[in-house]
Every structure is written in C-alpha cells, then in structure tokens.
C-alpha cells in the first residue's frame, strides 16, 4: 500500500512544471510520510501467525480490514493535500527572453543583401515589408537600378543581377531558419516595374455624334416634329453633347464630309438648346428681338459664334453645297424638317440627297410642269441654287418646263413642335 502511494506522489511531482531541485525537496517530505504508512502496516497482522493468535473467520476480520482501509485512505488524502500545497508554494520558473541575432541574407557575391531580417521578439508577429515607392517607372525604358528603403541597411542593386542573384537570394533564404517567406527582399531583382500603362498617355476616344443621334431619335418624329417637352427633360444629355462639340472643334486632318457633318449637327444642336432654354414659346422669332440668329453665344474651340456665323460664314462659303439648306433647321414649321438622326462622315452624302428630295416633293412646295410655288428658302438663298428650275428637276418627281412660272410661298415661323 505504501509503495503504491509513493508511486502516485512521484508521478504527480514528475508531471508538475517545477524544477528538479524543488521537486527533490517535496519528494523527501513524501518519503517521511510514506514511512509512517509503512509503520502502520507493520503493526497490523492480517493472519493468525505463529503466536497462536486465532482470529475466527467471522465478521470481525472484515471489520478490521475495513477500518484499516479507511485509515490508510485518510493518510493518503492528507499526504496528497500536503504535497499539492508545497508544490503550489514553489515560485514558477522564469521564461527566457533572449533575443535571437538577426540573420543576414547574402547574394551570389557573398555580400549582404539590401534587406536584413528583422529580429523577432517573442510573441510578436512578423511584419511584411513595405513596397518601394521611391522610384517611379518610365515607360519604354529598361530598369537599371533601385534603392531599397525596407530595412535600416540599404544598397543599390543593378538589374543585371536579376536572374542569378535574385534566385540565389530566395534559395539561401529558404534554407536559413527562422527566416520567413514574407521577409524575402526582392530589391536585388531591379527597379520595380509597376503598372505597364504607367507613364503611357492613353489615346482620347474618337469624337462622334452617337449621343446626338440617340437624342434626336427619341424626341423627333419621322416628319420632323419635335417633342420639346420631352427634350426639356433630356436637357442634360443635350448639354453634354454641346460640351463635346465645344471641346472637339474640327481638325485640319478631318475629311470634308466629317467637317460638314460636324457643323450641320452643331447648328441643329444649338438651335434646340436655344428653344429648350426658353421653352415654352410660340416662335423662335420671339427671342432676341426677332433676330436670335445674330446673337453670339456658341463657344467652340475657343471661339464664340452665332447661328448665322455657323451657317453663312462657315457652312455655305466653305462647302458650297446647296443641299445643306434641307439639313440645317431653324425650328420653324416652314423650315425643312429636322432629321431624327445625326449626320456623320459616312452617311452625309446619302442623307443630304434624301432630305433634299423629300423636301422638294413634300407639301411645302407645289410643283407642276409649267408652274412652281416653292419655299421662300429658294428665294433667300437663290445664289446657292443657281438655275432654280435645273436644280429642282434634279430631285422633283414632276418634270418642270424651263419656262415655268416661279413663285414663293409665305413662311410660317410657328414653332416646329407638337
């Protein structure tokens, strides 16, 4: 019994976190207690022996054993309690705070690299090196050198060591404990390249009339009637388009058709702007004392124009094409209908032909073989049309005699809206 108790206590001492010297002191005290248990056992005889002591195999024998077991259990409990108290009184062992020396990464020339491994304090997580932002990349140039600012010790490394030195740095680092992957310095691989588009001027998107085309399709009917109420709710879109006109004046490199399409669209867009800025109104002639075409307010490419400047100083003299009179729109009912599309470099000629033929054969003119009553436009701009009968015969569905009588209709300046 005593041996069992002693073994249990020794195991408890061994499993404790105390030093060997402290444990030895406890063991000596335990041995003393164990001797007391042995002495108790020696004083008790469980058999009849040679002395002639006869104990009958009765209930008395069992009572003796039970009493002895209880007594031994009490002793064991006392010993265990006493041992635990003494173990708790032993001061804990101090933890070592020795700081490991920093490891130095060497390159292929057996020289210290531009980055040293930072000493790591116990319980402190490793820090990731900050990227080198001191050198800005230049597009098209081969990187030649870079300076690392990650560690206290820095040096300059050339890009020629990229393939050999860089790989050896990684290999040596992987074999050096306790260096971690996030401590590997990449400065020996040359200048940081960064985004491939850095420093490269992105080409500006090609100017086009797509925005205006979509707007016209939304607010202009097939016969040229304008929904100015709907246009007023889309005023921001119209303003964005006129801003794009202002920022993208025609260039010398543009084709003739591209330039002409630009100025026709500009005239129509700014006329719509003039109406929406003053909507509702009955007629465009209600504005600026009846002469809204003379006011200069249109800014394009640093210049300020009026609607008359665009039509009479740019479109008519520069392009010398009478068909433009059936494309520019003055927001009046007698004016050739506003197209529900924008003019472009590719569609200009076909659309001018379409709009001219449609207007000459429309209700705005009365044509017969020997008499024609046509729009006042043919009178105002007679110089552009030359021989009027010849011009009309190019598009009219009715053949007009050379000596036919020509007259002009009254012009309705009412707004061309719903």
pLDDT tens digit string along 212-255?
A: 999 999 999 999 999 999 999 999 999 999 999 999 999 999 99
Between 195 and 249, where is the model more confident?
A: 249
b/e burial code for range 7-30 (CB count within 10 A of at least 16 → b): eebeebbeebebeeebbeebeeeb
Whole-number percent of the chain with pLDDT over 70: 51
381 pLDDT more than 80: yes
412 pLDDT more than 70: yes
pLDDT at 109: 55
For residue 85, name the pLDDT band (cuts at 50, 70, 90): low
For residue 416, name the pLDDT band (cuts at 50, 70, 90): very high
Cα–Cα–Cα angle for 121, 127, 133, rounded to 5 degrees = 145
Between 121 and 248, where is the model more confident?
A: 248
Least trusted range by pLDDT, from 23-32, 164-173, 185-194, 273-282: 164-173
pLDDT at 161: 46
pLDDT at 147: 40
pLDDT tens digits, one per residue of 301-351: 999 999 999 999 999 999 999 999 999 999 999 999 999 999 999 999 999
pLDDT at 136: 38
Average pLDDT of the chain to the nearest whole number: 75
Between 248 and 34, where is the model more confident?
A: 248
User: What pTM does this model have?
Assistant: 0.55
**Mean pLDDT of the 182-206 span:** 57
Write phi, then psi, for 329 (nearest 5 degrees): -130, 130
**Both structure tokens of 337:** 């209908």
pLDDT at 206: 86
Cβ(114)–Cβ(155) below 8 Å: yes
15 pLDDT more than 70: no
Adjacent-strand bridge partners of 407: 373
CA-closest candidate to residue 129, choices 115, 147, 113: 115
**Mean pLDDT of the 202-214 span:** 88
pLDDT at 225: 98
**Mean pLDDT of the 263-267 span:** 98
Residues 6+ apart with CB under 8 A from 175: none
pLDDT at 149: 42
**Mean pLDDT of the 244-268 span:** 98
73 pLDDT more than 70: no
- Rounded Cα gap, residues 7 and 5, in angstroms: 5
């Amino acid at each position: 019994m005593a041996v069992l108790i002693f073994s249990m206590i020794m195991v408890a001492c061994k499993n404790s976190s105390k030093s060997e010297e402290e444990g030895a002191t406890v063991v000596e005290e335990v041995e003393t207690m164990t001797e007391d248990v042995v002495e108790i056992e020696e004083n008790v005889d469980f058999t009849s022996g040679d002395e002639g002591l006869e104990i009958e195999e009765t209930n008395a024998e069992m009572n003796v054993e039970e009493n002895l077991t209880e007594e031994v259990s009490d002793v064991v409990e006392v010993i265990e309690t006493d041992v635990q108290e003494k173990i708790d009184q032993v001061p804990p062992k101090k933890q070592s705070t020795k700081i490991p020396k920093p490891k130095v990464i060497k390159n292929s020339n057996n020289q210290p690299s531009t980055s040293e491994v930072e000493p790591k304090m116990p319980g402190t997580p490793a820090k990731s090196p900050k990227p080198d932002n001191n050198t800005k990349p230049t597009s098209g140039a081969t990187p030649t050198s870079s300076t690392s600012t990650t560690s206290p010790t820095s040096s300059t490394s050339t890009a020629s060591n990229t393939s050999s030195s860089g790989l050896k740095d990684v290999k040596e680092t992987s074999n050096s404990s306790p260096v971690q992957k996030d401590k590997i310095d990449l400065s020996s691989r040359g200048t940081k390249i960064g985004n491939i588009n850095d420093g490269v001027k992105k080409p500006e998107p090609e100017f086009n009339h797509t925005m205006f085309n979509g707007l016209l399709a939304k607010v202009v009917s097939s016969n040229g009637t304008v929904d100015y109420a709907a246009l007023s709710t889309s005023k921001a879109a119209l303003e964005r388009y006129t801003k794009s006109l202002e920022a993208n004046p025609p260039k010398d490199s543009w084709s003739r058709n591209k330039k002409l399409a630009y100025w026709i669209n500009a005239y129509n867009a700014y006329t719509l702007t003039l109406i929406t800025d003053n909507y509702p109104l009955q007629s465009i002639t209600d504005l600026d004392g009846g002469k809204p075409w003379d006011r200069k307010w249109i800014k394009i490419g640093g210049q300020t124009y009026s609607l008359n400047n665009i039509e009479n100083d740019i479109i008519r003299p520069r392009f010398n094409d009478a068909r433009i009179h059936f494309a520019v729109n003055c927001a009046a009912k007698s004016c050739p209908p506003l197209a529900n599309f924008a003019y472009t470099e590719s569609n200009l000629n076909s659309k001018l032909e379409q709009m001219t033929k449609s207007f000459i054969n429309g209700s705005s003119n009365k044509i017969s073989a020997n008499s024609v009553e046509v729009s006042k436009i043919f009178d105002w701009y007679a110089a552009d049309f030359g021989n009027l009968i010849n011009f009309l015969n190019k598009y009219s569905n009715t053949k007009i005699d050379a000596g036919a009588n020509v007259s002009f209709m009254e012009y309705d300046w009412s707004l061309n809206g719903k």
